[in-house]
Amino acid sequence: MLYCTKCGTQVNDAAAYCQACGGPQPRGGAIASEDWLQGLSPRTAAMLCYVPFVGWVGSLIFLATQRFRGDGYVRFHTFQGLYMSVFWLLIDIALLPVFGWSVWAVRKALSGSIRLAVLAGWIYMLVKTSNGETVRLPLIGELAERSAAEQGA
């Protein structure tokens, strides 16, 4: 199906102008309304939510698109991936500045171990999701399950 680039109504393949609004169409007809996520499997979408440091972008895209809106499996992993990213940000923004410069060695050891644990969690979830397993992380998994059920209803 081809749609008008200006108003979004369906137009003929060879139309130079839209019948509804009169807007000019690009050469070769209007833009096809293909879903650019069509070739992406739910398992791959769930995996992309756990890519360290950038998985939150995929999570937001998958939550916003129509393709995965009704898929509970993908929705659960998008929320769990988002919550893991939020946890990472909370460590950087809220927890570490509390220690300040006075206990620099403790701060470095604590921040390094927490960051390593979250990074290992991301990689663990990436591997488990690639195998088709659903792992509910403590606290975050329950929140993700509730969010996916609430938003999907």
Q: What is the pLDDT of residues 91-104, one digit of tens each?
A: 777 766 666 666 67
Q: Write down the pLDDT at residue 43.
A: 92
The per-residue b/e assignment along 43-78, b for 16 or more CB within 10 angstroms, e otherwise, is eebbbbbbbbeebbebbebbbeeebbeebebbbbbb
Identify the DSSP state of 31: E
Checking 109-116 for CB contacts under 8 A at 24+ apart, the result is 115/88, 115/91
Q: What is the pLDDT of residues 99-145, one digit of tens each?
A: 666 667 777 777 788 889 889 999 999 999 999 999 999 989 999 99
Q: Name the 3-class secondary structure at 3.
A: strand
